[in-house]
């Protein structure tokens, strides 16, 4: 009589925001394709779960509302459900926060082998401290994820190109048709924290210059009522600008649109990492944070990172601390002319 036992599953978790989860996708796909006989389950939140398009056949993505799994009792129940439904044999924790530490502990109690990402917290603290900074480039988070899989004994391949497998996706009928010779620019002017957001009056000057050029079309990315209102003020009276917040077409459509764009302008934010998933070159603006912390977009160029050389930078890994100077000069001191020049370089207008 054949055994009805399910094959062993590798559980992988990253439970945070969209951009953080986006950085895990290439490594996860590489692991799945290098181990076609192994089943992988990606545990994440509901919104990031929609990003895992064209996933390998041996990958299941679980978008979970953690409001139903609160506290240690909730995580214990989640652990039991995962082990029951998927026969989890290995757990790769790519987040390493309190919730996933609890899940690791409970998995160990059930005999599951666990491996956890080393986020380099000590090195990041030394990079951001007020004095005696250690200004050196740390291991990129994408490399830390690959290292975690290797320590778990899971092989990887290097075949990831983009989320669409090198093919150009179809555009939504709700979007314009790209005319031959037209330049499409994606602009993502928002981020989660003030220390990462280029001031709106300066961004408006950048957009004024770009929108005045014949043959340029600008798509501004954002979400929520407040961002929709701000984008509306930027796009008012400009026929060659499209507010993606107003259209609200969804993450899948926005990723397809990015694949058709020629360059993106973003903050140190999720959209930089989403652009990386489709191979879109991105000019990024950095204020309180710094590429040295390891959060540069996969495949993006350091020469496309706009930042000021200041003794207080970086003061934060995530941009969530108040400015020590009180004026956010790290952002206010970046001229719109410099931003436009970097975009022109990325577009091939300047050499």
Q: With bands split at pLDDT 50, 70 and 90, how would you rate the model's confidence at 350?
A: low
In the block, tokens 């058709």 appear at 260
How far apart CA 116 and CA 72 sit, in angstroms, is 19
Give DSSP secondary structure letters for 274-332. HHHHTT--EEEE-SSS-GGGTTPPTT--GGGEE----TT----SSS-S--SSSS-HHHH
Residue 45 contacts residue 66 (beta carbons within 8 Å): yes
Q: For position 166, what pLDDT does the model report?
A: 87
Residue 127 contacts residue 290 (beta carbons within 8 Å): yes
Q: What angle do CA 134, 140, 144 make, to 5 degrees?
A: 115
Identify which of 208, 232, 212 has the alpha carbon closest to the alpha carbon of residue 220: 232
The three-state secondary structure class of 240 is coil
* Residue 206 in this model has a pLDDT that exceeds 70: yes
pLDDT in tens, 143-167: 999 999 999 999 999 889 999 988 9
How far apart CA 102 and CA 75 sit, in angstroms, is 7
Listed in sequence order, the residues at least 6 apart from 171 whose beta carbon sits closer than 8 Å to its beta carbon are 177, 178, 256, 257, 260
How far apart CA 90 and CA 82 sit, in angstroms, is 12
Which is more confident, 292 or 234? 292
pTM of the model: 0.94
Domain architecture of the chain: domains with CATH: 9-151 (3.40.50.2000), 183-347 (3.40.50.2000)
pLDDT in tens, 46-100: 999 999 999 999 999 999 999 999 999 999 999 999 999 999 999 999 999 999 9
Q: What percent of the chain has pLDDT over 90?
A: 89
User: What average pLDDT does this structure show over 29-53?
Assistant: 96
The residues that bridge with 186 in the sheet, in sequence order, are 219, 264
Instruction: List, in sequence order, the alpha helices (H) in 35-178.
Output: 46-49, 71-86, 98-109, 121-128, 141-151
Residue 177, phi then psi, degrees to nearest 5:
-90, 130
Q: Return mean pLDDT, the chain.
A: 94
How far apart CA 345 and CA 139 sit, in angstroms, is 27
* Residue 3 in this model has a pLDDT that exceeds 50: no
Residue 109 contacts residue 76 (beta carbons within 8 Å): no
């Amino acid at each position: 009589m054949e055994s009805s036992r399910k094959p062993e599953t590798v559980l992988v978790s990253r439970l945070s925001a969209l951009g953080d989860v986006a950085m895990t996708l290439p490594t996860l796909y590489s692991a799945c394709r290098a181990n076609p006989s192994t089943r992988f389950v990606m545990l994440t939140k509901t919104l990031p779960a929609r990003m895992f398009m064209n996933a390998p056949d041996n990958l299941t993505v679980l978008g979970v509302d953690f409001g139903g799994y609160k506290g240690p009792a909730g995580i214990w129940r989640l652990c039991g459900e995962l082990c029951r439904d998927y026969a989890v044999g290995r757990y790769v924790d790519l987040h390493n926060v309190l919730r996933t530490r609890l899940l690791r502990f409970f998995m160990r109690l059930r005999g599951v082998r666990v491996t956890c990402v080393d986020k380099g917290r000590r090195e990041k603290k030394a990079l951001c401290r007020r004095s005696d900074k250690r200004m050196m480039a740390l291991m990129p988070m994408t490399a830390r994820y690959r290292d975690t899989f290797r320590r778990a004994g899971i092989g990887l391949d290097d075949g990831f190109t983009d989320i669409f497998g090198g093919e150009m996706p179809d555009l939504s009928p709700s979007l314009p048709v790209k005319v031959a010779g037209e330049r499409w620019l994606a602009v993502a002017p928002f981020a989660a924290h003030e220390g990462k957001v280029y001031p709106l009056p300066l961004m408006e000057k950048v957009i004024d210059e770009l929108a005045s050029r014949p043959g340029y079309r600008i798509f501004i990315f954002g979400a929520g009522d407040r961002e929709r209102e701000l984008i509306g003020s930027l796009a008012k009276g400009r026929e060659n600008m499209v507010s993606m917040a107003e259209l609200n077409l969804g993450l899948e459509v926005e990723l397809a649109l990015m694949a058709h764009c020629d360059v993106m302008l973003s903050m140190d934010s999720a959209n930089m990492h989403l652009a990386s998933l489709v191979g879109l070159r991105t000019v990024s603006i950095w204020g309180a944070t710094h590429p040295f912390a390891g959060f540069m977009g996969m495949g993006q160029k350091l020469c496309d990172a706009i930042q000021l050389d200041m003794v207080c930078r970086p003061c934060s890994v995530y941009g969530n601390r108040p400015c020590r100077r009180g004026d956010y000069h790290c952002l206010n001191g970046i001229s719109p002319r410099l931003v436009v020049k970097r975009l022109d370089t990325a577009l091939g207008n300047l050499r």
